[in-house]
């Protein structure tokens, strides 16, 4: 096996960047991560997506070297990092709660990693200012970190993590606690920052919109195991398991015969009883919610299954009220078969 693995690596030239193999982390008896395989190449942005408690943060900490794995390996460009302490890995980590140093001002925080490298003062100062400017905080250097807003703290933490030019940048819920407008703004900024540098980026999040907006590749984590590891668009269009499908907002249903996953916009609602046959099912409306550009109906089949369906018909402002009977039709090609 080992020989085959090495051969594959040589063939694909994959011995660059981060490679995690068979990683396992246990806390006492509890398994936090098990059998994790993960690769992040230079220039690649990978998002680990999962609900809280799925082991996302533990994965980052294990890669960082802050949490000793109970089994498995973490390598960079083929070098085993088991014996490399966190501060010599040249990885950056942005904490969810920022973990800014309260006893240093903004510049002192950003400069920390540069000073530790022993760079000349003038260079430290110049790169600190450039780093702050890059996150839109030029001139904030002398401020106390205690008087910053949440968004500003986020940017300082980002500038601090980026300043020493880490070869792998890790972000724990990078947009976690920010308001919606700020998040959308920061998504663009982060993408620009990621694109500008030939750097591997590994971020974890519980928000799939954030994962798809930021990452090239998405790894879905569930209960300490990888459920799916694919291109962002593949994960979105072809969820590999019922868990991933539900997590992304799909309906998982057997109403149309075999078990399939189908998005709310992969179903068509009609108030008239339609032709009975494959791809249709009779339902009753249970609930409806307004979703900016569409209505979301929750409907129930005769068998008691509930499904979500998007109604985008702008011509009929009166969306059906609870109790209305109707028919659901499957949009051809919208169903994803689940094994």
Partner 1 sequence: MTPTVRARLGTVLAAAVPVVFVAVLFGYPVAAIVGRGLAPEGTLDPEPLRRVFTDPALRGVVWFTVWQAALSTLCTLVLALPGAYVLARLRFPGRSLVRALVTVPFVLPTVLVANAFLAVGVPRSLGAILLAHVFFNYAVVVRVVGTRWRNLDPHEAEAARMLGASRWRVAREVTAPALRPAVVAAATITFLFCFTSFGVVLFLGGPTRTTLETEIHRQTTRFLDLPLAAALSVVQLAAVLALLWLVGRSERRAAVPARLRAAREIEHAPRTPGAWVLLTANLLVMTALLLVPMAVLVVRSLTPPSGFGLDAYRALGDLRRGSTLFVPPLEAVGTSVRYALAAATIAVVVGGLAAWAGARSRSRWLDGVLAVPLGVSAVTLGFGFLIALDEGPLDLRGSAALVPLAQALVALPFVVLLVGPVLRSIDPRLREAAAMLGASPGAIRRRIDLPIAARALFAAGAFAVAISLGEFGATTFVVRPDAPTLPVVIARLLGQPGEAAFHAAMAASGILMVLVVVAVVVGDRARVGRFGDF
Q: Which residues bind partner 1 (CB under 8 A)?
A: 27, 64, 66, 68, 85-88, 90-93, 95, 97, 99-103, 112-113, 116-117, 160-161, 163-164, 166
User: Cβ 53 to partner 1, closest distance in Å?
Assistant: 12
Nearer to partner 1, 160 or 199 (CB): 160
Nearer to partner 1, 68 or 275 (CB): 68
Q: How far apart are CA 269 and CA 327, in angstroms?
A: 6
Q: How far apart are CA 54 and CA 203, in angstroms?
A: 14
Nearer to partner 1, 95 or 243 (CB): 95
User: Cβ 125 to partner 1, closest distance in Å?
Assistant: 17
Nearest to 125 by CA among 140, 149, 108: 108
Nearer to partner 1, 100 or 299 (CB): 100
Nearest to 242 by CA among 252, 233, 228, 232: 252
User: Cβ 142 to partner 1, closest distance in Å?
Assistant: 18
C-alpha 95: how far from chain center: 15
Nearer to partner 1, 100 or 220 (CB): 100
Nearer to partner 1, 91 or 247 (CB): 91
User: Cβ 32 to partner 1, closest distance in Å?
Assistant: 10
Contact predicate 170/61, CB 8 Å: no
Nearer to partner 1, 93 or 307 (CB): 93
Q: How far apart are CA 58 and CA 200, in angstroms?
A: 19
Longest dimension (CA), the chain: 77
C-alpha 220: how far from chain center: 8
Nearest to 199 by CA among 325, 46, 51, 334: 46
User: Cβ 161 to partner 1, closest distance in Å?
Assistant: 7
Tell me the CA distances in angstroms from 126 to 26, 132, 177, 178, 310, one per residue in order.
Answer: 43, 10, 30, 29, 52
Contact predicate 104/116, CB 8 Å: no
User: Cβ 199 to partner 1, closest distance in Å?
Assistant: 15
User: Cβ 144 to partner 1, closest distance in Å?
Assistant: 12
Q: Which residues, in sequence order, are CB contacts of 8 under 8 Å at separation 6+?
A: 14
């Amino acid at each position: 096996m080992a020989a085959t693995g090495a051969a594959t690596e040589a063939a694909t030239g994959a011995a660059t960047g981060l490679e995690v193999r068979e990683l396992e982390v246990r806390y006492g008896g509890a398994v936090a991560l098990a059998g994790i395989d993960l690769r992040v190449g230079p220039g690649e942005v990978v998002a680990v997506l999962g609900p809280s408690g799925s082991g996302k943060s533990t994965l980052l900490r294990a890669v960082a070297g802050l949490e000793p794995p109970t089994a498995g390996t973490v390598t960079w460009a083929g070098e085993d990092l088991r014996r490399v302490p966190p501060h010599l890995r040249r990885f950056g980590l942005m904490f969810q709660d920022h973990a800014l140093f309260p006893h240093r001002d903004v510049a002192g925080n950003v400069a920390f990693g540069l000073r530790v490298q022993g760079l000349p003062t003038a260079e430290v100062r110049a790169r600190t200012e450039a780093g702050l400017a890059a996150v839109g905080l030029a001139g904030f250097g002398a401020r106390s970190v205690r008087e910053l807003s949440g968004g500003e703290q986020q940017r300082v933490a980002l500038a601090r993590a980026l300043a020493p030019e880490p070869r792998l940048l890790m972000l724990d819920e990078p947009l976690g606690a920010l308001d919606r407008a700020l998040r959308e703004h920061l998504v663009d900024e982060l993408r620009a920052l990621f694109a500008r540098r030939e750097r591997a980026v590994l971020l974890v999040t519980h928000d799939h919109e954030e994962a798809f907006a930021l990452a090239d590749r998405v790894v879905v984590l569930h209960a300490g195991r990888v459920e799916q590891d694919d291109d962002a668009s593949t994960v979105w269009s072809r969820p590999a398991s019922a868990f991933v499908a539900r997590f992304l907002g799909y309906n998982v249903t057997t109403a149309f015969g075999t078990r399939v996953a189908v998005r709310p916009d992969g179903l068509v609602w009609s108030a008239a009883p339609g032709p009975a046959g494959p791809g249709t099912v009779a339902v009753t409306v249970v609930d409806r919610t307004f979703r900016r550009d569409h209505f979301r109906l929750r409907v129930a089949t005769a068998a008691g299954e509930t499904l979500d369906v998007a109604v985008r018909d702008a011509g009929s402002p009166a969306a059906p009220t609870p109790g209305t009977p109707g028919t659901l039709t499957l949009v051809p090609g919208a169903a994803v078969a689940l094994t």
